[in-house]
Structure 1
Amino acid sequence: MILVDADACPVKGEIQEIALRRGISAVFVAATYLRLPDHPLFKMFVAGDAFDAADDAIAQVARPGTVTITADILLAERVIKAGGAALDPRGREYTQATIGDSVATRDLMAELRPGMMGQQGGQSSGPPPFGPADRAAFKNGLDRILTRIARTGA
């Protein structure tokens, strides 16, 4: 099963394409309803707009054999602790070996950001634009994880 942190996910179409090709269900979890193609493999779960409601809903069902698509490092950490796999929309897999460094970097950047923003007039450049190479890397990453799960179950 593919679990999608769907509110700001830029690869919904790619997830749907891969889910259809592989015959795997994809559950899109968001604060509010998102329109999905009418297909039995696609499910929408509205978690509500409470803080971390979508993350909590995903973390409750993540387990070995599931893949969660998220850019949220703290959600990825929860998924990995539950035995699931986690992939960001640019195709980078979060693993037991890398999640600690990712969380530490996130925390450091959160501490540095207020001071940096004051020097820059409150502007942040944000992540680089999302392009075709990112979409291709994501599809390759998701296929790689799904193949591993099909072979090993985890």
Structure 2
Amino acid sequence: MDTAPETTAAPVTILVDADACPVKDEVYRVAQRHRAHVRVVSNSPFRVPVSERVKRVVVSDGFDAADDWIAEHAGPRTIVITADILLAERCIKAGATVLKHDGREFDAASIGGAVATRAIMADLRAGMDGVGGGPAPFSKADRSHFLQSLDRVLVKLSRA
């Protein structure tokens, strides 16, 4: 028996920037519990669960085609899952809630600093001739924090 409350508001939609997303399975589980719709957006097909609420969106392989589709469909009842800072900035401007894969939220207060840091890091990497590491490995704690954050945001939006 489905115990999620009925609401007259439009359902929340979760847009997943899918190409490098390590939490797709978690999104599906939490979305089902909250009756949210999910759009898995990528340049190539991904397997998605058979569900009337989960749809795969395959865009062209053009530069930023997936980001453009996500940004065009982002809005106040949308949660965007991405680590792409520039995409996050576009979606925040459209009124969407944006979560990174580790559960941290990009918001109007933090996005400017994130964009500036991204630019500085790009300059530093350009001067290192490929030397250096990447981001820290994705951990169980990151996955747990993501689940908690997604659940919290979905509860908040369901009450709005």
Q: Which category describes the TM-score, using the shorter chain as reference length?
A: over 0.9
- The whole-number CA distance in structure 1 between the counterparts of 2:159 and 2:118 is 32
Q: CA deviation at 1:90?
A: 0.5
Summarize the alignment of residues 62-141 of structure 1 with structure 2, pairs less than 5 Å apart.
62-115=74-127, 117-118=128-129, 122-141=130-149
Who is 1:28 aligned against? 40
- The whole-number CA distance in structure 2 between the counterparts of 1:82 and 1:52 is 17
In structure 1, runs of 5+ residues without a counterpart are none
- The whole-number CA distance in structure 1 between the counterparts of 2:77 and 2:34 is 14
Runs in 1 of length 4+ with deviation above 3 angstroms?
Answer: none
Aligned residues: 148
Who is 2:26 aligned against? 14
- Residue 15 (structure 2) pairs with residue 3 (structure 1): yes
Q: CA deviation at 1:123?
A: 3.1
- The whole-number CA distance in structure 2 between the counterparts of 1:65 and 1:147 is 12
Who is 1:38 aligned against? 50
Who is 2:7 aligned against? none
- The whole-number CA distance in structure 2 between the counterparts of 1:123 and 1:113 is 8
- The whole-number CA distance in structure 2 between the counterparts of 1:91 and 1:62 is 18
Q: So what's the TM-score if we normalise by structure 1?
A: 0.93
In structure 2, runs of 5+ residues without a counterpart are 1-12
- The whole-number CA distance in structure 2 between the counterparts of 1:151 and 1:39 is 24
Query: What letter is aligned with 2:51?
Result: H
Query: What letter is aligned with 1:37?
Result: P
- The whole-number CA distance in structure 1 between the counterparts of 2:80 and 2:62 is 20
RMSD: 0.9
Who is 2:5 aligned against? none
- The whole-number CA distance in structure 2 between the counterparts of 1:50 and 1:95 is 28
- The whole-number CA distance in structure 1 between the counterparts of 2:108 and 2:157 is 16
**What secondary structure is seen at the aligned counterpart in 2 of 1:78?**
helix
- The whole-number CA distance in structure 2 between the counterparts of 1:99 and 1:151 is 25
- Residue 72 (structure 2) pairs with residue 60 (structure 1): yes
